[in-house]
Amino acid sequence: MTPPDDPAMVRVLADDGTYAPSAAAEEYLPLIDALADTDLETFYRDMVVVRAFDRQATNLQRQGQLALWPPSFGQEAAQVGSARAARPQDHVFPSYREHVVCTIRGVDPIDIIRLMRGLTHGGWDPADPRNGNTRLYTLVLGSQTLHSAGYGMGLVFDGRTGTGDPERDEALIVYYGDGASSQGDVHEAMVFAASYQTPQVFFLQNNHWAISVPVATQSRVPLYRRGEGYGMPSLRVDGNDVLASYAVTKRALDEARAGEGPRAIEALTYRMGAHTTSDDPTKYRGGDEEQYWARRDPIARMRAFLQSRGASQAFFDGVEADAAAYADDVRVRTNALGGLDTSVMFDHVYSEPHPLVAQQQAWFTEYESSFDQEGRA
Ligand SMILES: Cc1ncc(C[n+]2csc(CCOP(=O)(O)OP(=O)(O)O)c2C)c(N)n1
Ligand SMILES: [Mg+2]
């Protein structure tokens, strides 16, 4: 297991929520000091709400409402801190577990649900301004890093970044995992990003596991140091510390937007749940490790910090109530979704009609019509 007390790691809050910046965090403290109380409360609220949503979605999968659910349980601080660091004009390229990143940008959680129910190939329209420049989930590990590098090159070519106007210059952040970090696509993306000095942040969530494969098998060096090999300033942050995650991402995106090129961040966190609802982690990891990380829960840490600053019980109660209402709303809307409109799985295979797809659709329509209302052949 990677030691979480690495002195080179940027960390603002200790495990128990005490304000105890590491040496590496010193230079980031002005960014933390600039946060208002309401910002700190928003970070906390985001984390509690997404945990309730995530648990609800996991339950919905168990009830047969979803085909699959990849939980974000445990990774809330890495995701909330980094997402809250982005500006409205920035672009987000998620993997498949960044639920709160998407909702912070404006994506309706029911669109993530629809995807995991198997009702749509995509989920949402990235070009719709309500979705905050959020690209689609991809389950093809690492592919989004290539998409992001290409998009970043486009931003450079089109003069949409690095002009010196922080209100208009655009940057992007791409999320990927420790397992994906060994995928060729990620390395190709880093080569292109560094060569073209794209305005982007490679945000690696090291949650210690790639399904059943532990992170120790992925690399001989800490994963953030791979970024250095491509010529990118790279660092490791405590990914269970929402303040540290916010500060390092904010700095990195600001620098990227200002034309200083790509940056790599490794957020050290832990997947507290299963890989997906198809996985049983008791087959490959032990309770000691889970308990170790349970004591480093990102929400408990921020809660203790807010309590030490005098946040009221009424505030915490209000957040709990909001989270419960949010999850209830998702459940009600999920149960009302209905079944698959089978035409959609053929609609977006190609942008133009294609004879093979048309043939398959005709076959499928005939097959479907061979069943009666109750599904009997
Ligand atoms: C190109 C590719 N290879 C293999 C898989 C199968 N697969 C799905 S998730 C996963 C592990 C990913 O681990 P990591 O990158 O650490 O992300 P995490 O799931 O931990 O968030 C694997 C091997 C895949 N989806 N795509
Ligand atoms: Mg992982």
Catalytic residue, chosen from 19, 284, 292, 367, is 284
Ligand 1 geometric centre to CA of 270 (Å) = 15
What is the structure's pLDDT at 2?
A: 47
Closest atom of ligand 1 to 75 CA is 21
Ligand 2 geometric centre to CA of 146 (Å) = 19
What's the per-residue H, E or C state across 232-269?
A: CCEEEEECCCHHHHHHHHHHHHHHHHHHHCCEEEEEEC
Q: Encoding tokens for residue 312?
A: 């009221």
Question: Is the CB–ligand 1 distance for residue 274 below 6 Å?
Answer: no
Distance CA 73, CA 27 (A): 30
> Looking at the CA of 268, which ligand is closest?
2
What is the structure's pLDDT at 278?
A: 97
Q: Is 284 a catalytic residue?
A: yes
Ligand 2 geometric centre to CA of 214 (Å) = 8
pTM: 0.95
Q: Is 275 a catalytic residue?
A: yes
Distance CA 181, CA 187 (A): 8
Question: Is the CB–ligand 1 distance for residue 99 below 6 Å?
Answer: no
Q: Is 270 a catalytic residue?
A: no
Catalytic residue, chosen from 271, 296, 301, 331, is 271
Residues 6+ apart with CB under 8 A from 71: 54, 57, 58, 97, 271, 272, 273, 274, 276, 277
Closest atom of ligand 1 to 139 CA is 25
Q: Are 202 and 263 in contact (CB under 8 A)?
A: yes
Other CB atoms closer than 10 Å to residue 363's CB: what's the count?
A: 10
Question: Is the CB–ligand 1 distance for residue 213 below 6 Å?
Answer: no
Closest atom of ligand 1 to 211 CA is 11
Closest atom of ligand 1 to 97 CA is 21
What is the structure's pLDDT at 1?
A: 44
Tell me the residue length of the chain.
377
Ligand 1 geometric centre to CA of 59 (Å) = 22
Q: How far is CA 31 from CA 228, 243, 244, 252, 362, in A?
A: 24, 9, 10, 12, 59
Q: Encoding tokens for residue 40?
A: 């700190």
Pairing of strands 263-268, 200-206: parallel
Q: pLDDT tens digits, the chain, 377 residues: what are they?
A: 445 567 789 999 999 999 999 999 999 999 999 999 999 999 999 999 999 999 999 999 999 999 999 999 999 999 999 999 999 999 999 999 999 999 999 999 999 999 999 999 889 999 999 999 999 999 999 999 999 999 999 999 999 999 999 999 999 999 999 999 999 999 999 999 999 999 999 999 999 999 999 999 999 999 999 999 999 999 999 999 999 999 999 999 999 999 999 999 999 999 999 999 999 999 999 889 999 999 999 999 999 999 999 999 999 999 999 999 999 999 999 999 988 888 888 888 898 999 999 999 999 999 988 988 777 87
